[in-house]
Structure 1
Amino acid sequence: MMRVYNSKRNREMNTPHKKAGSTFTRAWEIISQDASIPPEEKKSILRLIQVLIESRERSSSKNGDDAMSITQEVISKHSLMATVKHQANELDALKRISLNLTSSLDFQTVLDAVVTEAMGLVKDANSAHIFLYERGILDFGASLHADGTRNKAFAIPRENGLTYLVVKSGKQIMVEDMSSHPIYKDAPKNWQGSIISIPLKFKDEIVGVMNVSRSVTGHFSRSEIRLISLLADQAAVAIFNASLYKRVTQMANTDSVTGLPNRRALDERLQEEFVYASRMGLEFAVVMMDLDGFKIVNDTFGHNVGDELLYSLFNFLAQKMRGSDFLARYGGDELTLVMRNTGIDAAQAVTDKVINLMNEYKFHYPEEKNIQLGITAGIAVYPSHAQTPSDLLRAADVALYHAKKYHRGKYAVAKGMTGSLSPIKLRKTEHEE
């Protein structure tokens, strides 16, 4: 079959020869000239007509109405196929979203997954943000920008701004042109384009708001709105579950009396520090501390007062620590301090500081004088005193035992590997030297 090449049309397409069937030729011409059909869809329809032409040598009808009828039928069937294909793509997207949002219970991982999915659902997306809503306040949760930047610092939402408006209304809001919308009249001039803001609801309770912005103005497509809305529904459930897991984990890792990390959290932190120090070739120190005189408080005033004192004192000390230090309640009246990238000299200086801080601390009990306590400590440093987290903790505990046995209110430093009990060097505090 001969085809005449038409340079005005897509070079991948050839106009069918009129002898191939005027009805199909007419259908070809009608579709080719229809500007309402998207280019890719038009290209696909024309290929379909080519297949029809090649399946028959000549059309028996030359009626223009027949051509129009065939054209409409082809377009209708093709549109149906396109719709089915589009729905299949949406189902694939929903399946991917579901898998990604349920693959982890880590709170930040879930938030990052949500904004990643949001960016992939909207054409020309510029950024996606999540703000978490709790007790009437919106706080930043996560963000992703078109250039790949994650969790970039972002201004807290204005109380009269879009995000809070979505919280108050409980409904999604779409702004087609931020530069001309009243709600953005006080916004920076570089805030251009369009944005959709959707509440994240779990059982009718708003847990956050998701904003997706574009660099272009105009409305979002029905498909985009539908998918973003479905993402918001799944995101709300995932965020609630991750938040619940985070709270439960925090409770499991928190001492109920003092609010400090407990023994379980300590073991996890020791393992983390061990892995980090081993990989980076660094030291880290562990200091075991025991209160002097606490038993008398419990025996004299009772355990309730003892608990109040522990809460007050341990939090007093925690506030004096460096941001990188980790202070946990080991059990009873014992504390454990873990210090990253810290050698023996630095560990001794910090321990001196803690012991001397006890002179500043006073616990006032009604009808009694201020209660004054002291601290005795034992220091061990990786890798000088042990090669595993558990051995390092034991080395510090052995050093503490020796310090308590020979002189309370001081600290001792472990010497050598702890295997069998190694010699312990007793140290005086600064104010005694």
Structure 2
Amino acid sequence: MTRMVRRSGIGPEGGASTAIRRRKQDLPSLQGAVKRRVTQPSVPLALKLPHLLSVEEVAAAIRRHPEVVRRQARSGRLPAEKIGRVWFFRPERLAEAGFTQFLPTMTPSEAPATPATDSPTESLVRALGEAGLEALRRPEQDAIFEVVGRRLADAGFSTFVFLLADDRGLRCAFRRVTEPDTDFEKVAGQPAVGTIIPFDRAPVLQGVCTSLRPHYIADADELVGRMAVAIPTVAANARRVSELLHMSTMIAAPLVVGDRAIGAIVVVGPRLRQADLPAVMAFANQTAAALEAARLLDESRKTEEAAVLALAGAIELRDALHSRAGEHAELAERFAEHLGLDPTRRRRVRYAALLQDLGKLSLPDSIIKKRGRLDSEERALMMTHPGVAADLLGRFAPLADLAPLVRAHHEWFNGEGYPDGLKGEAISAETRIISIVNAFFNVTYDLPIKTETTVDEGLQELTRFAGINLDPALTESFTTMCREAASSKAPWYQRMLDSLMRSQPPSVPAGPRDILSVADSRELRIIYRIAQETNAVLDLDTLLTRIVNIIRDVMGYYMVSILLPGNKRDELRVGAHSGYSIDITGLTIPTAQGITGWVFTHGVPQIIADVKTEPRYIGLDEKVYSELAFPLISRGRVVGVLNAESQHVDAFSEADVGLMSAVGSQLASYLEVAQLHDTLKREASHDPLTRLNNRRLFLERIQQEVIRAGGAGESFSIVFLDVNELKRINDTYGHLAGDALLREVSNALMDAVRGEDVVARYGGDEFVVLLPATPAPAATIVAQRISDGIARHRFMAGRELLQIPGVSLGVATFPRDGATAEDLLASADATLYQEKRKAG
């Protein structure tokens, strides 16, 4: 037995050369880097298993490098188990493998007696578990930080969160000390939230973020020294700060999202142990997942805001420049807050108020600007605009929940409105709020003469419509809010009065001529046509092409192009162009070169009267003599450059810059919407639970592989697998445990395959792996490696750590087992069920 252990390289006397022997390179399934997608456990491992050993502890005990221990665990030469990224070891199994140094940990009688109260480690583990779970339920970054800090402070530990600040270092995003008092604030003061610590002053945190592994320090003097270097402003008081924080030990863990770190979390306090590393790492993974979810939610909201503002701008211009949608939205949101609506519903009120006239973009000028009353046919056409707006919003998923609110904004409380004749509370509360605000503007702002009593008279007028087209209860609340604000001289109310006194009633066209200038007309035509395209087209490449064609057509420019940030930070790429004699789509230009590069870097438009005398000009057409480059700016950030070129010298003027300024702000918002749509398309091709490819994408890939392999005369294989006893896990432990099982199976699959292999969740408890250029013998080896890898993975069911029940596998090879995707899947499925029946 001893001899076998030594040969395998896992015995206590095994040679280092045997332990780190490279794997054989003749199997195609072992070639290439593996891109791992890891789902971390929802509960720290040490919550129920405090005696597990980490890679670092085992490496120190058997005197080997941690990377060697990790590699031997991966290959099965060390008796290890894994969940997510974390390998762990059981002392009893190491002792059985011949490591006698772990025998003392197996003898409970030798362990010192422990008091009935929780040990520091147990209180930490409990705090980590509670904080991690609660953080996942928080939708905002600050709320996540607060719950994490509070939970750990209750357990006697201080918490610091650092986020990467580009290449400058780490920014202190949050701190929470165990005993916040005036002494600490006076002595420490730093690192205050927002302080940036350069990497060279925080090598431990830099190492944690680079290696994606936690770090443990148990030397109080070392901690004092490192703190003094990292934060020079407290160097003189470093010892005192250490005492206030009880900083005798520290664990720093990376906040990992995907395969990169976004920062690090530092836990400081007395009597932390190296054995706490797995628990803190698992907790850090939960915190990182919560922060990433909060970031995505925030980005989604900002994109929604950009889309709404872009559409609202188009509405304002279409409404002959006298729209007050912004003021409507502000007052409606304030009224919603007065009524106690939550932030999400208040945001819906504001968006719906901004977009309520979106459908008017489809109406002709003959109706919008007609003097006098509309005839019956014109009125019928006008009444279609709420439905048109709802249809447009319903096509864009992020704003689809606004569709019913906008559709109903002409409904009356007594049921006599349009288009659906809704009555009373069948009309949403958000829409009833907007209706009251609209009515208020009609009886105040739209009056030709305003006086100090206009608001009071308007509020009295509103009460006459209560129960007819307005909700009586909400009308009373609105008048109460305004009168209370008037008596208290609330700032918002004073601003509204100033705006009211300065406002002019909507102008009526005096004749058949348009009141807009030629420049305004062209601006409207461009914005309106682009708005129509964004309603019909959300594919980014198609949208860019249509936009440059619209601008070139309306403005009569010789050539037009749009440049966007490239894959590298210091380059631009041509996203679309119109009028060029050659196809330059995808052409890259360094941001340090050319006129467009300068405009992108500085965010300032440039007019070049004669490009022949401009050394920065990069020419593609000898007929070009002048150029206009304009930055596309969204929320203070340059997101692209709109470039126009002419065959004439000095062809562009400040009027062109002014027009581009109006068009460019709208265009930047449209681009963000289209980019969001591209992101949503990518999300549609992946399984939301496991983040693997979904069935649709897998079927597309296997069809492509059938065509490729058939044309080249090659073979490929698929491995079809079914997770055993998923129903029993769901019935016994609940569906959350079943989800954890499926996620861990996906982790094991990604561990076992190559970078070019395609892993997908086929449906339910079924997974499938596409192995390009892999014949049957090699596919069989891959299938066995998958089975062996799954046997080493564990998943959390509540607070229990369970072994994966196992999987059944079926292998099929093209063209031996089928010449089509359907035949291959059927063959692999049949093999799988044959194996199931053999296993009983």
What TM-score, normalized by structure 2, do the two folds share?
0.29
How far did residue 140 of structure 1 move? 6.5
Given residue 131 of structure 1, which amino acid in structure 2 is its aligned partner? P
Report what 1:351 is aligned to. 783
Select the residue among 131, 156, 159 that pairs with 2:565. Answer: 131
Native 8 Å contact 1:198 1:232 kept in 2: yes
How far did residue 265 of structure 1 move? 2.8
Report what 2:823 is aligned to. 391
Asked if 1:163 corresponds to 2:600, the answer is yes
Report what 2:699 is aligned to. 267
Given residue 354 of structure 1, which amino acid in structure 2 is its aligned partner? I
How far did residue 397 of structure 1 move? 1.0
Native 8 Å contact 2:599 2:641 kept in 1: no
Report what 2:586 is aligned to. 151
Rounded to whole Å, the distance in 2 between the matches of 1:208 and 1:279 is 43
Select the residue among 314, 330, 345 that pairs with 2:762. Answer: 330
Select the residue among 795, 812, 826 that pairs with 1:380. Answer: 812
Which structure is higher in strand share?
Answer: 1
Rounded to whole Å, the distance in 2 between the matches of 1:338 and 1:192 is 46
Asked if 1:210 corresponds to 2:641, the answer is yes
Rounded to whole Å, the distance in 1 between the matches of 2:709 and 2:829 is 21
Rounded to whole Å, the distance in 1 between the matches of 2:785 and 2:791 is 10
Per-residue CA deviations over 1:156-185 (Å, capped at 9, x if unaligned) read: 899x9743654xxxxx622649x9xxxxxx
Q: 1:325 to 1:105 in 2, by over 3 A?
A: farther
Stretch of structure 1 that moved more, 332-341 or 310-319: 310-319
Q: 1:316 to 1:239 in 2, by over 3 A?
A: farther
How far did residue 94 of structure 1 move? 11
Rounded to whole Å, the distance in 2 between the matches of 1:122 and 1:346 is 60
Given residue 822 of structure 2, which amino acid in structure 1 is its aligned partner? S
How far did residue 325 of structure 1 move? 2.1
Given residue 253 of structure 1, which amino acid in structure 2 is its aligned partner? S
Q: 1:292 to 1:242 in 2, by over 3 A?
A: same
Rounded to whole Å, the distance in 2 between the matches of 1:109 and 1:319 is 38
Q: 1:296 to 1:91 in 2, by over 3 A?
A: closer
Q: 1:323 to 1:112 in 2, by over 3 A?
A: farther
Native 8 Å contact 1:288 1:334 kept in 2: yes
Q: 1:310 to 1:174 in 2, by over 3 A?
A: same
Asked if 1:361 corresponds to 2:790, the answer is no
Select the residue among 214, 221, 238 that pairs with 2:652. Answer: 221
Q: Which runs of 5+ in 1 are unaligned?
A: 1-89, 167-171, 180-188, 409-433
Q: 1:95 to 1:298 in 2, by over 3 A?
A: closer
Native 8 Å contact 1:262 1:330 kept in 2: yes
Which structure is higher in helix share?
Answer: 2
Question: How many residues matched?
Answer: 301
Select the residue among 764, 767, 772 that pairs with 1:340. Answer: 772
Q: 1:196 to 1:263 in 2, by over 3 A?
A: same
How far did residue 199 of structure 1 move? 1.4
Native 8 Å contact 1:163 1:209 kept in 2: yes
Per-residue CA deviations over 1:285-314 (Å, capped at 9, x if unaligned) read: 222112245444333321112212322431
Given residue 586 of structure 2, which amino acid in structure 1 is its aligned partner? N
Per-residue CA deviations over 1:96-132 (Å, capped at 9, x if unaligned) read: 999999996543454566679889986588x852139
Given residue 652 of structure 2, which amino acid in structure 1 is its aligned partner? S
Rounded to whole Å, the distance in 1 between the matches of 2:598 and 2:804 is 53
Report what 1:75 is aligned to. none
SS in 1 for 2:769: strand
How far did residue 191 of structure 1 move? 7.4
Q: Which runs of 5+ in 2 are unaligned?
A: 1-522, 620-626
Rounded to whole Å, the distance in 1 between the matches of 2:723 and 2:706 is 27
Report what 1:37 is aligned to. none
Asked if 1:314 corresponds to 2:746, the answer is yes
Q: 1:351 to 1:99 in 2, by over 3 A?
A: farther
How far did residue 339 of structure 1 move? 3.0
* Correspondence 1:44-123 to 2 at 5 A: 105-111=538-544
Given residue 640 of structure 2, which amino acid in structure 1 is its aligned partner? V
Rounded to whole Å, the distance in 2 between the matches of 1:112 and 1:338 is 36
Q: 1:362 to 1:248 in 2, by over 3 A?
A: same
Rounded to whole Å, the distance in 1 between the matches of 2:636 and 2:727 is 48
Given residue 381 of structure 1, which amino acid in structure 2 is its aligned partner? T
Rounded to whole Å, the distance in 2 between the matches of 1:175 and 1:298 is 66
Rounded to whole Å, the distance in 1 between the matches of 2:552 and 2:771 is 40
Native 8 Å contact 1:124 1:215 kept in 2: yes
Rounded to whole Å, the distance in 1 between the matches of 2:664 and 2:751 is 39
Asked if 1:197 corresponds to 2:197, the answer is no
Q: 1:387 to 1:96 in 2, by over 3 A?
A: farther
Q: 1:108 to 1:376 in 2, by over 3 A?
A: farther
Q: 1:206 to 1:297 in 2, by over 3 A?
A: same
Rounded to whole Å, the distance in 1 between the matches of 2:656 and 2:779 is 57
Per-residue CA deviations over 1:231-261 (Å, capped at 9, x if unaligned) read: 8578557645644543443444332322222
SS in 2 for 1:363: strand
Native 8 Å contact 1:263 1:328 kept in 2: yes
Rounded to whole Å, the distance in 2 between the matches of 1:371 and 1:157 is 56
Rounded to whole Å, the distance in 1 between the matches of 2:532 and 2:665 is 14
Rounded to whole Å, the distance in 2 between the matches of 1:385 and 1:391 is 7
Given residue 288 of structure 1, which amino acid in structure 2 is its aligned partner? F
* Correspondence 1:260-299 to 2 at 5 A: 260-299=692-731
Q: 1:98 to 1:365 in 2, by over 3 A?
A: closer
Q: 1:406 to 1:261 in 2, by over 3 A?
A: same
Per-residue CA deviations over 1:43-87 (Å, capped at 9, x if unaligned) read: xxxxxxxxxxxxxxxxxxxxxxxxxxxxxxxxxxxxxxxxxxxxx
Native 8 Å contact 1:358 1:373 kept in 2: no
Given residue 330 of structure 1, which amino acid in structure 2 is its aligned partner? Y
SS in 2 for 1:352: helix
Per-residue CA deviations over 1:15-67 (Å, capped at 9, x if unaligned) read: xxxxxxxxxxxxxxxxxxxxxxxxxxxxxxxxxxxxxxxxxxxxxxxxxxxxx
Rounded to whole Å, the distance in 2 between the matches of 1:368 and 1:345 is 38
Per-residue CA deviations over 1:2-25 (Å, capped at 9, x if unaligned) read: xxxxxxxxxxxxxxxxxxxxxxxx
Native 8 Å contact 2:599 2:606 kept in 1: no
Rounded to whole Å, the distance in 2 between the matches of 1:119 and 1:345 is 60
Report what 2:736 is aligned to. 304
Select the residue among 603, 606, 610 that pairs with 1:174. Answer: 606
Rounded to whole Å, the distance in 2 between the matches of 1:104 and 1:280 is 37
| % same residue | 26
Rounded to whole Å, the distance in 1 between the matches of 2:738 and 2:592 is 44
SS in 2 for 1:272: helix
Rounded to whole Å, the distance in 2 between the matches of 1:315 and 1:157 is 43
Q: 1:346 to 1:131 in 2, by over 3 A?
A: same
Rounded to whole Å, the distance in 1 between the matches of 2:749 and 2:527 is 50
Rounded to whole Å, the distance in 1 between the matches of 2:591 and 2:690 is 32
Native 8 Å contact 1:376 1:404 kept in 2: yes
Rounded to whole Å, the distance in 1 between the matches of 2:702 and 2:719 is 12
What TM-score, normalized by structure 1, do the two folds share?
0.51
